[in-house]
Chain A
Amino acid sequence: MKVYFRTIKDLPVDEYFGPGQLTCAGCGPSIAIRWILKAAGSDVIIVNATGCIEVTSTSYPYTAWSVPYLHVAFENAAAAASGAESALKVLRRKGMLDAKAKVIAIAGDGGTYDIGLQALSGMLERGHGVLYVLYDNEAYMNTGIQRSGGTPHFAWTTTSPVGSKLKGKVQRKKDIMSIVIGHHIPYAATANLAYPIDLANKVKTALDYLDEGPAFIHVLAPCPPGWRYPEEMTVEIARLATETGYFPLYEWDHGMIRFNPPSNTHFDKSKRKPITEYLKRQGRFAHLTEENIKEIEKEIDEYWDYLSKLVKTFG
């Protein structure tokens, strides 16, 4: 990652994701999108999948976007972005357009892990120069908290309820980064809205690589009503996700894996905060037993094992 911004004061003052939105108080995704657009600047075209951000930011006759914006449907942000990118390329070539605009696709976890995975895979395989941003709030929050492939193990949602037989989501969270990296694209990174400078630098880095092919950024974006915590806690919860090792910050850059602070020290488990610090603040995990927490901890350790093997191979 090239460092474009060192402190928050380096970020542009311009706002491209402005007022006029209907997000919930403390909305993680809207915080993330605001940082992303600040970093990206005005010469972009946004293609947004159906989801929280789309329904809250484009309520006709208002719009929160002061950059060109297209929404088509839930599962096809990557396909529509492929078309927009191809159009820019050919129109420039034919001398019908002089803009240097770059295309950014934005989708939630539902539109990425689940219904949109096919279109995403197609776009990555074909090598379109599009930055795909996944804002992960770990459930279908737009339709009222239903589980997705990105929902963590044991988390309560309305379609993975806590009952007498089943306690929250039965399956583990899908490893979307591994799926994306499997397409051998130039750049993929995880980011967290609690680390805006890291996020902004990753956005700039990704945009700089688009001439070579696609880039992907997986942003953790907590959701107060869906995760069941007080709305003023969004940034704190997000930071805990990384500090406890639940959501590590790293990047895949041309076949190399690099861990970013503070996750770069987290291969040593003693440097991570206990996972309970993260879990106990969220109502969606309120039902967890000691045994459940142990299992989550085991899964996180396994994941770090896997990551350390990746670092050994690709570091």
Chain B
Amino acid sequence: MAVAKALSTREEVVKERVGLTSNYAAAYAVKTVDVDVIAAYPITPQTTIIEKLAEFVANGEIDAEYIPVESEHSALSAVVGAAATGARVFTATSAQGLEFMHEVLYIASGLRLPIVMAAPGRALSAPISIHGDYQDIMSARDSGWVIMIASSAQEVYDSIIMAYRIAEDNRVLLPVMVSYDGFLMSHTTEPVELYHEEYVRKFTPRNLNRPRLDPRKPMTIGVIASPDWYYEIKYQAINALKESKNVIKETHNEFNKAFGTNYDIVEKYMLDDADYVLITYGGASSGNAKEAARRARERGLRAGVLRLRLFRPFPTDEVVSAIKYSKVVAVVDRALSPGNTYEGPVFNDVVSALYNKGINKPVISVVHGISQRTMLSDDFYNLYKKLDEYAKTGEYPRKTIFIGLRGGEA
């Protein structure tokens, strides 16, 4: 895709290039947008985000109220209260913390509150694992939030800035979650270009013209609805999420113009003529898949990668149009949907998207990197070779393939 014509040059908007983990990149983004209220509770691998923000507040580098709450349930509840009062808010969590927030996730979207949350993905207990995968994010996928999954520290920084603009848009007014790989991204340092504050603030203007608690204009927020009303109110929220896709795309375009970037809600790598496509999300699996695609191309296999940047609302049209001419597609999930026909959650989304467009093509469900089980680019390279074999024999596996699993059938 051609780089959109920049309104300002990259040189103009970039203040400095620094080494940051994705967690620190998230904290720097929050710092730059002029946030009002931050509430959070420490949990691995999220903790360094709020440590950094606490430091910013302690040093007077941001003018925000930092609420060191006693639990994640209260963290999200506090930002719900603050957002309902008109403040620009931020929280962050992972894994068990996101599960503990679960009840309030639905309330935040049901009340149509523009909350922004960073959520480095992590495996869920039991057994306890502090390591990265996307089980926590998948468990939150039906809560009505906009969910983006970034694949680099720069993208985490950029996505959080975009998230404020999306969440506070009067056509959206929904909470936005920005996710990325726990540890593999949250704790590894990459170069990040930080922007001058004035450009970021110009891109994320305040929206005080939204429903909020104001004694001069009293309003009841968080009502009880009888069966005669509940269904329609929920339907409105579902529709707002569905239609937020246009605002999200628009925001991406405007961000590209303002900051000289090249984001889309999906990322296409060597896809134009690809026979074999891996659909991935997050940093490590996408990076490895791209490397494997490059190697497969050297060996004559027309390989490509489609990375989902936007997960909810699901980019149905974009996914289908990107893979429509490919021979075989594999969806690499780093999370589980136990008890489903295929255990890969995003696989089920992709198949549903194809069905929606009346396309029947071989799609393989692959699970890898659970609880940060090592993923090698060789694994993805071998997967491309397998897709080629399937295509040649015409026989496709009718169950999920678990890569990297000891003692299991792969």
| A interface bracket (residues with beta carbon within 8 Å of B) | 35 or more
Instruction: Let me know if A90 and B63 touch, CB within 8 A.
Output: yes
Instruction: Let me know if B69 and A82 touch, CB within 8 A.
Output: yes
Instruction: Let me know if A67 and B218 touch, CB within 8 A.
Output: yes
A118 and B87 CA atoms in complex are apart in Å by 24
Residue of B nearest to A42 (CB): B215
- Encoded as 1 (CB less than 8 Å from any B CB) or 0, chain A from 47 to 79 comes to 110000011001111010111111111011011
A residues less than 8 Å from B81 (CB atoms): 47, 70, 72, 79-85, 87
Instruction: Let me know if B215 and A99 touch, CB within 8 A.
Output: yes
Best-surrounded residue of A80, A85, A89, A101 (most CB of chain B within 10 A): A80
Asked if A8 CB lies within 8 Å of chain B CBs, one says no
B residues less than 8 Å from A86 (CB atoms): 37, 39, 65, 67, 78, 82, 87
| Contacting residue for A63 out of B37, B65, B86, B223, CB 8 A | B223
In whole Å, how far is B185's beta carbon from the nearest beta carbon of chain A? 29
In whole Å, how far is B107's beta carbon from the nearest beta carbon of chain A? 6
Of the 9-residue stretches A121-129, A215-223, A236-244, A253-261, which lies at the interface with chain B?
A: A121-129
Asked if B73 CB lies within 8 Å of chain A CBs, one says yes
- Encoded as 1 (CB less than 8 Å from any A CB) or 0, chain B from 195 to 216 comes to 0000000000010100001111
B residues less than 8 Å from A70 (CB atoms): 81, 84, 213, 221-222
Instruction: Let me know if A71 and B223 touch, CB within 8 A.
Output: yes
In whole Å, how far is A46's beta carbon from the nearest beta carbon of chain B? 9
Best-surrounded residue of A42, A67, A121, A122 (most CB of chain B within 10 A): A122
Asked if A249 CB lies within 8 Å of chain B CBs, one says no
A residues less than 8 Å from B75 (CB atoms): 79
| Contacting residue for B68 out of A54, A67, A89, A126, CB 8 A | A126
Asked if A141 CB lies within 8 Å of chain B CBs, one says no
A84 and B78 CA atoms in complex are apart in Å by 7
Instruction: Let me know if B220 and A69 touch, CB within 8 A.
Output: yes
Instruction: Let me know if B77 and A101 touch, CB within 8 A.
Output: no
Asked if A9 CB lies within 8 Å of chain B CBs, one says no
Asked if A43 CB lies within 8 Å of chain B CBs, one says yes
Asked if A96 CB lies within 8 Å of chain B CBs, one says yes
A residues less than 8 Å from B215 (CB atoms): 42-45, 67-68, 99, 101
Instruction: Let me know if A59 and B226 touch, CB within 8 A.
Output: yes
Asked if A97 CB lies within 8 Å of chain B CBs, one says yes
Question: Closest 5 interchain pairs by CB?
Answer: A83-B81, A122-B70, A71-B222, A80-B81, A83-B78
Q: Show 18 residue pairs from A and B whose CB-CB distance is below 8 angstroms, ordered by the A residue.
A: A43-B215, A55-B224, A60-B223, A63-B223, A67-B215, A68-B221, A69-B213, A72-B111, A79-B75, A79-B78, A82-B78, A83-B82, A83-B83, A84-B85, A84-B213, A87-B87, A94-B63, A119-B71
- A residues apposed to B, CB below 8 Å: 42-45, 47-48, 54-55, 58-61, 63, 65-73, 75-76, 78-91, 93-94, 96-97, 99, 101, 118-119, 121-122, 125-126
